[in-house]
Structures are given as structure tokens and as C-alpha cells.
């Protein structure tokens, strides 16, 4: 497992795998973290995987991923066609998709949290841990009607410019979601502000993650 070491100036996150069940999950949960990472590490290689998106949603997912990764050293965007809310019923096929992702051999994996009440999200988290057993895995959060936000243990403070860029890209690239009552800047800014409060971020904004298993090299 990749260790977090206080001896090194920067974590060796040269290869990053971001997994989201649906178009916009990655952007909402860890878009700011990825924007900050590709800014600070111009050599980083990111594999961005959306498990379920078809038609207009696939086009939105691809365009958004490319915008978020515009400054990455290299970027691969994978969009699969699993049906929203049905992924547990196609478990074998979803498992095969995860097995294929072993080729990435990432240093860091970003995935859904295990306490997420959306069935697709929970399956993605379970298969992430099942597939990547010797990797650093951080679980991001997605706000929703189910009220399932938890108590994260790891925070990534975001510069205000990065937080604003995340909000701009989210609203620009997902017009299909604009009519939903929860999909607006108030929701996304509010969550980043709350997490920024919890970690005393200088900019007041942060994203937060569950980190169930970490190793620190003394």
C-alpha cells in the first residue's frame, strides 16, 4: 500500500484512477481535488472512469472530464454504458470492468464511499476495495436526497480559484441536470464551505474523504 510519508515534499501520486458511477459523480465528489492535483503535478496521469452514461449523458461526461483534466500530463477517459440504478443486478459485468482497470496500477484511487445509500455507488466502492488491495484508496462524498453524508476523516483544502473553477465546470457541462432542485451552486459551494470550516481551510473551502485504511511511513 502506498504510504503517506512526512519525509517527502509531495505524495507520489503519479498515476490516479478516479471512478464514478454516473456522469458528474467524480466532479461533484472530488473535482476540486483533481483540479488542484493536475495544477501542482503537471506530470500526473489520470484515468477517469464513468461506469454508467449513455446518449447525451455520455457526451456530457466526456466533455466535462476533458475540461477537468485539461492540465494533466496524460488523461484517459473511459465511459461505460451500465444502466443507472441497475448496476448491482449486472454485478458480473461490472466486476469484469473493474478487473480491466487493474492495468492502470494507480498510486491513488478515488471512489464512492461505502456508506452511500445509492446502490450503484455502494457496489462501486465494494469492487474498488476488492480490486485494488494494495493501493491508497480515498472515498469521496456525493450530496443527495438520501441525507447520507457522514463524518469524513481526510480533508483537501482548496484555493478559492479552484473551488470556483469546479463550480463553473459543473454548471457548464451538465445542462441535463439543471432542472433538478438540488443541482446548483448553492449545494456544491455549501458542501465545500462546510468541509472547509471543519478543517479550518485558509480559503474556507475543502473537499473531504473517508480514508478507511492508511499507512504512514515515519
Spans of all domains in the chain: 15-210
For residues 190-208, average pLDDT: 98
* 3-class DSSP state of 156: strand
For residues 176-182, average pLDDT: 93
Which pTM was predicted?
A: 0.95
The pLDDT value recorded for residue 13 is 79
Please say if the pLDDT value at position 11 is more than 90.
no
Alpha helix stretches (DSSP H) within the chain: 25-40, 56-68, 91-100, 119-131, 160-173, 185-198
The pLDDT value recorded for residue 159 is 98
Beta bridge partners of 141: none
How confident is the model over 79-98, as pLDDT tens digits?
999 999 999 999 999 999 99
Least confident residue range of 3-12, 23-32, 52-61: 3-12
Alpha-carbon dihedral angle through residues 157, 194, 32, 5, given to the nearest 10 degrees? 40
In contact, 11 and 123? CB cutoff 8 Å: no
d(CA 101, CA 156): 25
Please say if the pLDDT value at position 31 is more than 60.
yes
Please say if the pLDDT value at position 2 is more than 80.
no
In contact, 16 and 108? CB cutoff 8 Å: yes
Q: What is the DSSP letter of 163?
A: H
d(CA 61, CA 50): 8
CATH of domain 15-210: 3.40.50.10320
Amino acid at each position: 500500500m502506498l504510504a503517506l510519508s512526512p519525509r517527502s515534499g509531495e505524495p507520489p501520486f503519479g498515476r490516479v484512477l478516479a471512478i464514478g458511477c454516473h456522469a458528474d459523480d467524480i466532479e461533484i465528489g472530488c473535482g476540486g481535488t483533481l483540479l488542484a492535483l493536475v495544477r501542482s503535478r503537471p506530470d500526473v496521469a489520470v484515468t477517469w472512469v464513468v461506469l454508467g452514461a449513455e446518449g447525451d449523458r455520455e457526451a456530457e461526461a466526456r466533455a466535462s472530464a476533458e475540461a477537468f483534466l485539461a492540465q494533466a500530463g496524460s488523461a484517459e477517459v473511459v465511459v461505460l454504458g451500465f444502466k443507472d440504478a441497475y448496476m448491482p443486478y449486472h454485478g458480473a459485468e461490472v466486476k469484469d470492468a473493474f478487473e480491466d482497470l487493474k492495468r492502470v496500477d494507480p498510486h491513488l484511487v478515488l471512489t464512492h464511499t461505502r456508506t452511500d445509500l445509492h446502490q450503484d455507488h455502494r457496489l462501486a466502492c465494494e469492487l474498488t476495495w476488492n480490486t485494488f488491495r494494495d493501493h491508497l484508496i480515498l472515498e469521496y462524498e456525493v450530496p443527495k436526497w438520501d441525507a447520507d453524508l457522514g463524518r469524513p476523516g481526510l480533508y483537501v483544502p482548496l484555493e478559492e480559484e479552484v473551488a470556483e473553477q469546479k463550480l463553473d465546470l459543473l454548471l457548464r457541462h451538465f445542462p441535463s441536470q439543471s432542472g433538478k432542485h438540488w443541482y446548483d451552486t448553492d449545494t456544491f459551494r455549501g458542501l465545500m464551505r462546510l468541509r472547509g470550516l471543519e478543517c479550518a481551510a485558509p480559503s474556507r473551502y475543502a473537499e473531504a474523504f473517508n480514508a478507511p485504511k492508511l499507512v504512514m511511513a515515519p
